[in-house]
């Protein structure tokens, strides 16, 4: 399977990072969607500013592409401080984190993406930094080893994760604020697309905005990515206007159907139906048949199929639902009568 999927929620390299960053809102009043999170975060920010103190440490969790990085930047912007960004896999040793922590100024935001992927040693090293704003640094070795307590300036750690359950309990407990980001509604994505189109100077018509939003899998990052493809198609093959026909043709060429499934999603469903008679089947068997890693299927393919109800997980394995059969215009194993339920 090609991991660089147009409808994949993960960021795809530095070029897309720059593109998505150019569309990122700077303040909470510009942020669209996640109403409860925005309201609660606004209260926490206002209270911190009123006290003249850094915010409590914040944990943002939820599927990729929903705005965790954007919110981290907004927190720094609203607090009038600097943001320093890194990720769990990038911090391999305690010395790497030591250099970052000692260079933070009062009130700065340290953003750690994929925080669940911190190594155990690094994770334990960060505990006193979060609690007491100091770190214990060991110098020399053996009989000459000694611990030096290095004071830090008060900062705010913003952690982002797609797997909150993978965080250890001691790390979770050191965060003061917890916010879950959920998939967006179509109308929220339409509003995001209108805003992005205005920034990109794209003439986006209402029908095209609605169609793109419906195929964006509830994810703003995917919506902006699809808008970019539609813009290019309208410029080269159309009259420059991103209208409904241009959107439909551009997305059809990319293999994205009316509900946002791409070729890899449909291959997953067809394999389960044709090879395993719709299931139940274990994820290891599916991975072997598709010649793919289990983690890739679990993290990149299954979430949307589960969300849309095309696949369910049962104690005996994965199973395609009647809805999944219907989407592929196939009959369930026990006949067409089930199709009349939809």
C-beta separation of 302 from 287 below 8 A: no
Q: Where are the domains of the chain?
A: 34-180, 186-253, 263-341
Give the model confidence (pLDDT) of 91-139 as tens digits.
Answer: 988 888 888 999 999 999 999 999 999 999 899 889 999 999 988 777 6
C-beta separation of 129 from 174 below 8 A: no
Instruction: Please indicate whether residue 108 is annotated as part of the active site.
Output: no
Q: Which of 94, 162, 212, 321 is catalytic?
A: 162
Tell me the CATH number for domain 263-341. Answer: 1.10.10.10
Report the CATH fold assignment for 34-180: Rossmann fold (3.40.50)
Distance of CA 142 to CAs 93, 138, 146, 150, Å? 19, 11, 9, 21
The domain made up of 186-253 is a member of CATH 1.10.10.10: no
Alpha carbon distance 258, 131 (integer Å):
49
pLDDT attached to residue 77? 95
Q: Which of 5, 68, 217, 318 is catalytic?
A: 68
Q: Which of 81, 108, 113, 212 is catalytic?
A: 113
Q: Please list, in sequence order, all residues whose beta carbon lies within 8 angstroms of the beta carbon of residue 124, skipping any fewer than 6 positions away.
A: none
pTM of the model as a whole: 0.85
Q: Which of 221, 225, 231, 318 is catalytic?
A: 221
- Pick the range with the lowest mean pLDDT from 13-22, 40-49, 151-160, 322-331: 13-22
Instruction: Please indicate whether residue 277 is annotated as part of the active site.
Output: no
Instruction: Please indicate whether residue 221 is annotated as part of the active site.
Output: yes
Q: How confident is the model over 217-240, as a mean pLDDT? A: 91
Give the model confidence (pLDDT) of 272-313 as tens digits.
Answer: 999 998 989 999 999 999 998 888 888 788 888 998 899 999
Instruction: Please indicate whether residue 113 is annotated as part of the active site.
Output: yes
Give the model confidence (pLDDT) of 258-271 as tens digits.
Answer: 889 999 999 999 99
Cβ neighbours, 10 Å, residue 159:
28
Instruction: Please indicate whether residue 81 is annotated as part of the active site.
Output: no
CA-nearest of 261, 271, 268 to 327 is 261
């Amino acid at each position: 399977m090609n991991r660089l999927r147009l409808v994949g929620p993960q960021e795809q390299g530095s070029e897309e990072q720059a593109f998505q960053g150019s569309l990122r809102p700077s303040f909470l009043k510009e942020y669209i969607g996640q109403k409860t999170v925005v309201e609660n975060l606004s209260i926490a920010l206002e209270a911190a500013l009123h006290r003249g103190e850094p915010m409590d440490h914040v944990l943002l969790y939820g599927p990729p592409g929903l705005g965790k990085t954007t919110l981290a930047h907004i927190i720094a912007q609203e607090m009038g401080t600097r943001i320093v960004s890194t990720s769990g896999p990038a911090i391999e040793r305690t010395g790497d984190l030591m250099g970052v922590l000692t260079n933070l100024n009062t009130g700065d935001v340290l953003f750690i993406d994929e925080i669940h992927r911190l190594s155990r040693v690094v994770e334990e090293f960060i505990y006193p930094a979060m609690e007491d704003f100091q770190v214990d640094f060991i110098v020399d070795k053996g009989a000459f080893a000694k611990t030096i307590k290095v004071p830090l300036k008060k900062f705010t750690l913003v952690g982002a994760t797609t797997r909150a359950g993978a965080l250890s309990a001691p790390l979770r407990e050191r965060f003061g604020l917890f916010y879950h980001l959920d998939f967006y509604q179509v109308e929220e994505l339409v509003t995001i697309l209108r805003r992005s189109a205005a920034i990109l100077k794209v003439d986006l018509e209402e029908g095209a905005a609605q169609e793109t939003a419906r195929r964006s899998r509830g994810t703003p990052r995917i919506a902006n990515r699809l808008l970019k493809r539609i813009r290019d198609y309208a410029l080269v093959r159309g009259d420059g206007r991103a209208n409904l026909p241009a959107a439909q043709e551009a997305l059809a060429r990319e293999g994205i159907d009316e509900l946002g499934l791409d070729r890899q999603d449909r291959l997953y469903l067809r394999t389960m139906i044709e090879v395993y008679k719709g299931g139940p089947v274990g994820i290891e068997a599916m991975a072997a048949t598709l010649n793919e890693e289990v983690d890739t299927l679990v993290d990149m393919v299954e979430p949307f199929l589960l969300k849309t109800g095309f696949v369910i997980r049962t104690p005996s394995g994965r199973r395609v639902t009647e809805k999944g059969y219907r989407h592929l215009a196939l009959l369930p194993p026990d006949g067409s009568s089930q199709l009349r339920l939809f």
